[in-house]
A and B are shown apart, each in its own frame.
Chain A
């Protein structure tokens, strides 16, 4: 059983938790959009980071949790950023001969990499803020209220429900294999058994999908997921959402206008 959940702290209590999920989702999108639209001056990131730090503190999200999640997502950004210092042309700060070539790290490349990482941190932070102050199905419902296609929202809801069930199943299968090969063994048979494992997992998932469909149909499912709650934005939700969007737009505008 996993206790690691996507929305681990979403059950908490704070003024940020109590905001309407639609307001929070749109505010998060505004933050991400602003981050992406900013240029390469680091000072422009500061107001966005400051705003998020405030939400973070009010929402009582543990810092360690956020840092850990950031670290888990970082390989994607690092994998891209690592090539900028050597691929970006510009003023060399460090060179190293590699055979007939010269490896050159440029100042422009380093700045570019740092810029990318800063944007990455802000975007993931914004997403984590939403997910750690809003229950996942509330986010899904917010997306539905924003008229995101139902196929997508239903898919997300099922992913959330069955992801860990599926991971458990993989773990059981792997354990069953390791019980017999001791976790070692020749490379080729292991590779073959891995393929078999994937095949079994596919069949089980397929069967499970059918059984779930039966369980749904047995209770009258006719293709649409009915939900009982329909939220409405209150004054404070509007204030939070429009305030965040205006702030983010202001930062982008100021950055553009002062850029020269």
Chain B
């Protein structure tokens, strides 16, 4: 068994408004594993991602790539956890794509040559070669999503955490992104409602409901179990439903 790269034990978080978003989440992920994190709206999926990056101060134990999360270590943790947010317009904040991809490596203090090489490599990995001078605002949704992924890949994180990476994409753009994500060697945490994508990409699925892990197991078992999915407010992936 590969080493554990992500470890959560009894992670809890209550928003200042009183909403209890996480009520004791426990699971761990081995290096190289690809895990789909699904669940109905309000199950705590996005909050969990924020907690993993230390943006909300959750109680409990979070360990990412050997660093135990605390206020003091949040920055080290983020270096190993590549978090891609749901809305690429929030992710791409620099005036041009090239600068945006360079942002992470530059804050890591890498040399200019190394930054340049990483920008090139990351853009190539998402098939956006030559997009350095493009303005994020003028990209298509699919290009924005891929550029957002490149901004994180350039930092070479051990774990990638993607929040609804294929939302709002047309079928071709979505297929392209799925193929791209499948090729990535990183440990993957894929959050979202696109169960077909998760079945395609992740060998393991965790269902989160009401701030707790409801089910955790192989995707092929969980995502083909109509009764189990429906009991958590989910539906069979279309691909599975079509096969009967």
- Distance between A170 CB and nearest chain B CB, rounded to angstroms: 15
Known: A1-B138, A137-B96, A228-B115. A220 touches B104 (CB 8 A): yes
- The contact sample of 22 A-B pairs, CB cut-off 8 A, is A5-B135, A160-B95, A161-B94, A161-B95, A164-B137, A165-B137, A214-B55, A215-B85, A215-B90, A218-B53, A218-B78, A218-B82, A219-B107, A219-B155, A220-B104, A221-B103, A222-B75, A226-B103, A227-B99, A227-B106, A228-B99, A228-B106
CA distance A2 to B93 in the complex (A): 17
The answer to whether B94 and A208 have CB atoms under 8 Å apart is no
| Total A-B contacts with CB atoms under 8 angstroms apart | 83
List residues of chain B with CB under 8 Å of any chain A CB.
Answer: 50, 53, 55, 75, 78-79, 81-83, 85, 87, 89-91, 93-96, 99, 102-104, 106-108, 112, 115-116, 133, 135-138, 151-152, 155
Within 8 Å CB of A226, what residues of B? 103, 106-107
- Distance between A51 CB and nearest chain B CB, rounded to angstroms: 30
CA distance A137 to B103 in the complex (A): 14
Which listed residue (A2, A164, A220, A227) contacts B79, Cβ 8 A?
A220
CA distance A151 to B183 in the complex (A): 41
Tell me if A212 counts as interface (CB < 8 A to partner B). yes
The answer to whether A219 and B137 have CB atoms under 8 Å apart is no
Of B79, B102, B106, B116, chain A has the most CB atoms within 10 Å of the CB of: B106
CA distance A32 to B187 in the complex (A): 56
Q: A208-B90, A218-B83, A220-B75 given. 8 additional CB < 8 A pairs? A: A2-B137, A3-B138, A157-B94, A161-B94, A161-B95, A218-B55, A219-B78, A220-B107
The answer to whether B137 and A1 have CB atoms under 8 Å apart is yes
Within 8 Å CB of A246, what residues of B? none
The answer to whether A219 and B103 have CB atoms under 8 Å apart is yes
CA distance A157 to B99 in the complex (A): 12
Which listed residue (A212, A220, A228) contacts B90, Cβ 8 A?
A212
